[in-house]
Amino acid sequence: MHKLDDNRAWLLVVPVFALVAFNAVIPLMTVVNYSLQDIFGPGQRVFIGVEWFREVLRDPTIQASFLRQVAFSALVLAIQIPLGIAIALLLPRVGWKSSLAIILIAIPLLVPFNVVGTIWQVYARPDIGLLGRGINAIGIDYNYTSSAVSAWITLLLMDTWHWTPLVILLAFAGLCSIPEPYYQAARIDGASRWAVFRHIELPKLRGVLTIAILLRFMDSFMIYTEPFVVTGGGPGSSTTFLSVRLVNMAVGQFDLGPAAAFSLIYFLAILLFSYVFYTILKMNEGEP
């Protein structure tokens, strides 16, 4: 009887399961349903199997968007991870200066995505923006609305300003967790600053850096609001990433079947990358 009474506590989690089903499972099943049908209108649909998946995978515009997305994520990691580590190494570890530096560095993380896009849209304008006018004033032709190179530079600068603080905070936390005896032993051995970083700090940062790489890659791979606000996917299609292409297909063209198949492929690709990074993280957990 007591067992029966105890098991009734599981009824308390029923609302949670219902909420999860409503917010996640049911929409996902709806997308799966749409991806397998050709929809002509309300109540007018034909089951076509995996045809939309074949069409999406063969679409050259989606393939080009995928390559742009991978290139953007790779550049984000190549810039932000080393930069975040370098800044974290320069920060004071204790005292009020350390607290003040952390607060100031974390401010960009508090700015909403659409506000970040609007700020940089104005900041980088070649006619009135401080960045745009400044670059053109030194003789460099810069206009993110007409030059693909300028558009990419703008998006990379914007993303670096917005998200490098996350890498800095993670790296700083990892550095603060390194015991002082390691540094004492290095000083006794006469190790150089590079040797200390190479053999003490970098190995100890492996766990937090794996988390930083995972978070930054996933976020940059799903980026939408900022490039949509700043460039709208242009000039031409030079900044049309996967997310922008998906929204254009679903909302702009109202191709629900192909968009549903596209979103599932996109979702599975993100899951695959997440699994790879998670596996790397678990492999590094037991290392010193």
pLDDT at 29: 85
pLDDT at 288: 46
pLDDT at 5: 54
pLDDT at 100: 93
Per-position pLDDT tens, the chain of length 288: 455 556 676 777 888 888 877 777 888 888 888 888 887 766 777 888 889 899 999 999 999 999 999 999 999 999 999 999 999 999 988 888 888 999 999 999 999 988 999 999 999 998 888 999 999 999 889 999 899 999 999 999 999 999 999 999 999 999 998 888 998 998 888 888 899 999 899 888 888 888 898 889 889 999 999 889 999 888 988 999 999 999 988 888 888 889 999 999 998 888 888 788 778 767 765 554
pLDDT at 7: 67
List the chain domain ranges: 2-35, 60-285
How far is the C-alpha of 266 from the C-alpha of 260, rounded, in Å? 10
Q: Which residues contact 261 (CB under 8 A, 6 or more apart)?
A: 35, 50, 52, 53, 55, 56
Under DSSP, is residue 145 helix (H, G, I), strand (E, B) or coil? coil
How far is the C-alpha of 263 from the C-alpha of 50, rounded, in Å? 14
Q: Is the pTM of this model over 0.75?
A: yes
Burial (CB < 10 A; 0-12, 13-18, 19+), residue 162, is buried
How far is the C-alpha of 31 from the C-alpha of 248, rounded, in Å? 16
CA distances from 41 to 2, 256, 260 (A): 55, 11, 16
Tokens of residue 1, six digits: 């009887």
Under DSSP, is residue 90 helix (H, G, I), strand (E, B) or coil? helix
CATH (one of 3.40.710.10, 1.10.10.10, 3.40.50.720, 1.10.3720.10) for 60-285 = 1.10.3720.10
pLDDT at 81: 94
Handedness of CA 73, 75, 78, 80 (dihedral sign): negative
